[in-house]
Chains A and B, each alone.
Chain A
Amino acid sequence: MDDILNAIVLLTNFVIVPALAYGAQLALGALGVTIIFGILRFANFAHGDLMAFATMVVILVTWVLQDAGIGIAPLPTALIALPVGILAAIAISLFTDRCVYRFYRQKKSAPVIFVIASIGVMFMMNGIVRVIIGPDDQSFGDGARFLIQVTQFREWTGLKEGLAIKMSQALTLGVAVIAVAALFWFMQRTRAGKAMRAYSDNEDLALLSGVNPDRVVFYAWVIAATLATIAGTLYGLDKSFKPFTYFQLLLPIFAAAIVGGIGQPLGAIVGGFIVAFSEVTITYAYRKFLLYLLPAEWVPDGLVQFLSTDYKFAISFVILVVVLLVRPTGVFRGKVI
């Protein structure tokens, strides 16, 4: 019995907990991408760097608050700084929309033009973040580090394996649930949300029914920027903030949005967890797990690892390619890119 419990704890500690937190972070990022795609009909490559920009603002405000001695221990101070980051992200999103995307919208340019323009925006944002905060790692987490610590867990349960749940992981899941619930309430229940869904489904019909396209675009950016700030801050708290890693996040985020069905909010969430769990489960070595469950002589000598961790990022690529080949609309029948 102990062996089975040990095996479960082992898997929870190294696979389930990290994958849940990572999945929630990807899901929030993918939601932002999917909403921009649904309303503005282009793949926004600047989303990763929008996350970096927003997180940077949160970090700067957090530092000011920490210096002033304001905090909400055991929760990280960054949570109080979050609204400022959201406002900054909204401001810069609306600013780029006004300067860049509106021009192409009025010209009714093809989606690929928007995509290329968004790559330009991405590089601009990239540069701004590096000029302001620099390319290095920044740490801004404070408050309690752990909800459950390995040694405590071992003492409580008497098991050989330990379980660690970091504060940032618990926080990620909690905040993600709240953010997603609020988003769905907004989309399903409010007038603006319904207008957005109508506009996404059929632009001409929505316009005929009196939906104001400028309002819809405005809401889309507000929501995308808010989600980007939350996703970026949670990722930074849980892992670490470095502008380049946010740029790299773009790939798994897009994989998540496309797997779930781009344009479908529910799909983005499911997609986020699919990508996260595939990355973690495929690169995990199951030897110790099997040792608990099987007689020792049945367990192979190797690490029982499907792919070396070096290929972690390749998994997003593979998922992306397979989905586009087999089911281009994604799990939830989104749009075809």
Chain B
Amino acid sequence: MPKYMRKALLASVALAGFSLGSAAMAQDDVKIGVILGFTGPIESLTPDMAASAELAMTEVTESGLLLGGATVTPVRGDSTCVDAAAATAAAERLITSDNVVAIVGADCSGVTTAIAESVAIPNGVVMVSPSATSPALTTITDNGYFFRTAPSDARQGEILADVAMERGIETVAITYTNNDYGKGLADSFAAAYQAIGGTVAATAAHEDGKADYSAEVAALAASGADTLAVFGYLDQGGKGMIQTSLDTGAFSSFILGDGMIGQSLIDNIGDGLVGTVGTVPGSDSEGAASFDVYARESGIEGDGPYRAESYDAAALIMLAMQAAGSADRAAIQAQIMNVANAPGEPIGPGELARGLQILADGGEIDYVGATNVELTDVGEAAGSYKELEVVGDSFTTIQVR
């Protein structure tokens, strides 16, 4: 080997070592991706969700305790909720050019699956989704990189079936938005409802973004059921189905899945919804209540769903980082389960600084957060749900299941 070549080799090894060293040093600013559908069918929910996730990041940055004083910067990406190509492109950008260490998101089940399978898992980046609830996500091959702070719809279907039955609703027609989320929830509801003696008189999918839902409503109305179970989105086809049902007198009462819960639905439709029941992930635990106060103090005004889950998703990522002692992508993955579950000191919302300190001192924590986070062995929340009813002009929590 000629001399100059050996020199070049040495130099490049040294250079590689130097750049590795600088990567380890450059942890004073850590980027975390926030991929949510800022445009699309749930665009009215996502601003508060993103703000909640970013609230956790601000909290950690201000504590100055993460990895000896690192700051956390959120980088937003638009999942569009429905367009898998746009969502994976956004994730690709976050991972390769913004170099995020982990991702909070995505929101809707279809795009979440797409991002997880084609971008996040191949690149070894942890995703913690606050709101993707399709049962199919339980079984994707995720190499342990996909987590969610929202429970699977398999559970929501069962609870919603119980709610319906307890209210004496014995026959329903079902409509669902024609995607992974809608179909998954509709199937799990139908199975659970029939198992406890209910009758599903008709099932029909609806497409989002249509001008006219009268044909869908007419077909469902012919089944003779008085109650329509709507598993869709409140800014989209779900709203159209309910509006058309009320206009034509086809259905007078409704059962709503979590994607339909939001104040804008009541604002748009009005009195016709009174008495409507629905479920949404959440609890009335101490954590949930204190998060509500905390979020309001921090300027997150709305009371839409998935704010708490978003906060918890971001918090889990940062606590895992602290437990690992590095902002390395794989190191984060290895620690998420440890910080989320017992044993350890329970940490609630707004107490991230305390959690970071315990971890820095070599202790263990059990992140409880705003939603009683407890991840099952496949990395998803076991989940409790709020049973809601429209009373007057807002959703009121009846009980927590």
Using a CB–CB distance below 8 Å, which chain A residues touch chain B? 13-15, 18, 22, 145-146, 150-151, 154, 162, 164, 166, 235, 239-242, 244-245, 279-280, 283-289, 291, 303-305, 308-310, 312
Q: Interface residues of A: mostly helix, strand, loop or mixed?
A: helix
Given known pairs A150-B248, A162-B249, A166-B247, the reply for A14 and B221 (CB within 8 Å) is yes
A-B contact pairs, 11 of them (CB 8 A): A14-B217, A14-B222, A162-B248, A240-B212, A284-B215, A285-B202, A287-B223, A289-B222, A304-B222, A309-B204, A310-B207
User: Given A162-B249, A164-B247, A164-B248, are A291 and B224 neighbors across the interface (CB < 8 Å)?
Assistant: yes
Contact A284 B211 (CB under 8 A): no
Contact with A along B180-209 (1 / 0, CB 8 A): 000000000000000000000010111101
Q: Which residues of A contact B202 (CB under 8 A)?
A: 285, 303
Cα–Cα distance between A66 and B28 once the two chains are bound (Å): 53
Query: Per a CB cutoff under 8 Å, which of B211, B215, B216 touches A245?
Result: B211
A196 to chain B minimum Cβ distance, whole angstroms, is 32
Would A309 and B216 be within 8 Å (CB), given that A13-B248, A287-B222, A288-B222 are in contact? yes
Interface residues of B in 232-258 (CB under 8 A from A): 240, 247-250
- The answer, among A150, A283, A287, A303, for a CB contact under 8 Å with B249, is A150
Q: Of A15, A145, A242, A305, which contacts B211 at CB under 8 A?
A: A242
The 5 closest A-B pairs by CB, nearest first: A150-B249, A285-B222, A239-B211, A14-B218, A162-B249
Any A CB within 8 A of the CB of B27: no
Interface size (B, Cβ < 8 Å)? 26
Q: Give the secondary structure class of B's interface.
A: mixed
CB closest residue in chain A, given B221? A14
B224 touches A287 (CB 8 A): yes
* Cα distance A154–B249 in the bound complex, in angstroms: 10
Q: A22 to chain B: which residues have CB within 8 Å?
A: 212
Q: Is B219 an interface residue (CB 8 A)?
A: yes
A145 to B202, CA, bound (A): 29
Tell me if B205 and A310 are in contact (CB < 8 A).
yes
User: Is B214 close to A, CB under 8 A?
Assistant: yes
Q: A280-B215, A284-B218, A308-B204 are in contact. List 6 more A-B contacts (CB 8 A).
A: A239-B211, A240-B211, A280-B218, A283-B219, A285-B223, A303-B219
Nearest A residue to B235 via CB reads A137
Which chain A residues lie closer than 8 Å to B219 at the CB level?
283-285, 303, 305, 308-309
Contacts of B215 in A (CB 8 A): 18, 279-280, 283-284, 309, 312
Inter-subunit contact B204/A14 (CB<8 Å)? no
Name the residue in B217, B220, B221, B222 with the highest tally of chain A Cβ atoms < 10 Å from its Cβ: B222
Chain B hits for A13, CB < 8 A: 248-249
**Complex CA–CA separation, A15 to B224 (angstroms):** 16
What mask results when residues 383 to 398 of chain B are scored 1 for a CB within 8 Å of chain A, else 0? 0000000000000000
B167 within 8 A of A: no
The residue in B204, B216, B219, B223 that gathers the most chain A C-beta atoms within 10 A of its C-beta is B219
Complex-state Cα separation, A242 to B221, whole angstroms: 26
Contacts of B221 in A (CB 8 A): 14, 288
